Structures are given as C-alpha cells and as structure tokens.
Amino acid sequence: MSAIAAARGRAYVPLLVTSALLVAMFSAGSVQYEGFFSGQVLLNLLIDNAFLLVVAIGMTFVVLAGGIDLSVGAMAALSTMISAWLVEQHGWPPLLVIPLVLAVGTGAGLAMGWVIHSFEIQPFIVTLAGMFLARGLCYTISIDSISLTDPAYVAFAQTRIALPGGLFVSPSVLIAVGVLVIAFVVLHYTRLGRNVYALGGNEQSARLMGLPVGRTKIAVYAVSGFCSALGGVLLTFYMLSGYGLHAVGLELDAIAAVVIGGTLLTGGSGYLLGTLLGVLVLGLIQTVISFQGTLSSWWTRIVVGGLLFVFILLQRLIVGRRKV
C-alpha cells in the first residue's frame, strides 16, 4: 500500500508544480504592474482562452490514452469556415449550423480513431493527414476571411454575464467550464474514463484484461474531434469570422497546456484540473508580456518552449522513479 501511495504522490507533483508556477507568476505580475492584481484579470484569462480550454480537454483524453491529435487546430479553423460560409453566404440559421459543425468534427474524430485502430497506424501520421485535409477544406470554401454579421453571433459575442464585485465573464466561459465538469465526471466516474486510463497505462495489459481497447481508442478521438469543433464554434464567436488561418498552432498550444498541466505524454496519468491550470499558465504568460509592453509576442513561444522542456524533464524523472 505504501508503494501505491508513493506512486500516487509522485503523480501529483507536476500538478503541484503547475499550481505553484501559476501563483508565483500572478504574484510577480501583481507586484510589478499596476492593475494586475485583479479578479477580472484572472477571468479574462478564461474569456480569451475558452476555446483553447475546450480543445485542450479533448486533447487530454487522447494523451491519457497514449495517443496524440495534430488535427485539432485545423478542425477548429474548418468549424469557423463552415459556420461563416453557411450563415453569411447561404443564410442558414445558427441553430442548424452549430450542430452540423459539431457532427462534422465528431465524425472526423471517429474516422481518424477507426483508421488508427483498424490499420494500426501511428496517431501522429493519421492526425497529421487529418490536419492537412481540414486546412485544405478551409481553402476550398474560401481563401479569404468571411466576416460574421449575423445578429445571433454578434449578440452572443457581446454578451457579458455579471458576477459579484463588478466582475463578468462571457457565455463561452460557461460553456468551457460546463465541458470541463462533464469531462471530469466521464474520466473519473464512468467505465469509459477507467478504460482511457488503463489504455494509456499499458495497452497490452488492457487487452489481456478484456477491456474494449478498440472502442476506447476510437471514442477518445471522437471526443477530441467534438471538442475541437466546439472550440472552433467558440472561436467563431470570439473572432466573429471564419478564416483558414485561424487557430494555426492551436494543436501545439493544446498539447503544451496538457503537458504543463501534468499529463504524461506516455499516457495513463494526468488530471483535467492540470489541463485547466496549464491553459491559465499559457494565458498568464501572454498577459504578463502584454502588461510589460516592450516585448515581442514571440516571447510567449520562447517562454512556453522553456516550460515544456522543464515539464518534460520532470515527467521523465517521475516515470524513471516509477520504473525503479
């Protein structure tokens, strides 16, 4: 029992490190910049990154199962293009377009998961093909940006939900938090969640235990496809446009948030709370650079790259100790 308790304790180390990093960054920013110490600054992190949080939640499912999904950014962009094209140029109602977009994303995830499982192809290759396919489809719709002027989209984008103390959030934040809660319940209180952790821990052992490895693998990519499409819907509300160059690099941001949040890239260990903290860390880095005012936005990538390096080394140390 002591060995099990020690292993669980080590699994919490990256989560604790991410939490401490978030607190330290916010404290340092509050000391250095006037107006930084504010509840609205923290809420703005969620407002500006609600779509990233939803996409990162889907990526967490895939990484926990021992896979990877490089198509999420392109699928989010395709969602913005389909939405803007159908609503603006064909007059479709949003209540019909949004379910259609979510169905397309889920179907794409199902297809990639089926190919990965049925033909035993590396997820990197299959999802890379999915990324190119989705980006290509964006440009077959239009090579230009399509602005969204539909009253429903504009009203949603401009809505502020008041909170105590004069604070506010956007409806997208509530949707993202709702997805987070549902995903938490699925991962920790359902058979699918237990199968995801088992699959990521050791696929061969999962097979020997009689777990539905194929269905689980397909399911996690379907979840990722749904989340990337929903993230694209939220990005459409945020940008009020559809464009083939939207969400370039979003897949890397999602992977970074998952890794910084403490989920092992080898699968089998990680927490959705960590993914939320990872998204907040990425958003806080951008906010600090914005408050600083003299640094290029590229410093965000430099800092994130350094953090990824540190957290991958930390994961390696944890995995190494487990083997010992």
Per-chain mean pLDDT for the chain: 91
pLDDT digits (tens, 9 = 90+) for 173-228: 999 999 999 999 999 999 999 999 999 999 999 999 999 999 999 999 999 999 99
Nearest Cα to Cα of residue 139 among 249, 244, 247: 244
pLDDT digits (tens, 9 = 90+) for 50-103: 999 999 999 999 999 999 999 999 999 999 999 999 999 999 999 999 999 999
pLDDT band at 1 (very low <50, low <70, confident <90, very high): very low
pLDDT band at 6 (very low <50, low <70, confident <90, very high): low
pLDDT attached to residue 11: 65
Span 245-267, mean pLDDT? 92
Number of domains in the chain: 1
Residue 8 has pLDDT above 70, yes or no: no
Range name among 209-213, 245-249, 290-294 with the lowest pLDDT average? 290-294
| Percentage with pLDDT > 70 across the chain | 93
CATH number for position 70:
1.10.3470
CA distance linking residue 241 with residue 128, whole number of Å: 25
Span 116-144, mean pLDDT? 96
Domain range holding 117?
Answer: 2-323
Q: Which residue has the higher pLDDT, 315 or 98?
A: 98
pLDDT attached to residue 324: 47
pLDDT attached to residue 300: 78
Residues whose CB is less than 8 angstroms from the CB of residue 148 and which lie 6 or more positions away in sequence, other chains included: 83, 84, 87, 88, 154, 236, 240, 241, 242
Cβ–Cβ under 8 Å, residues 195 and 61: no
Nearest Cα to Cα of residue 250 among 47, 58, 26: 58
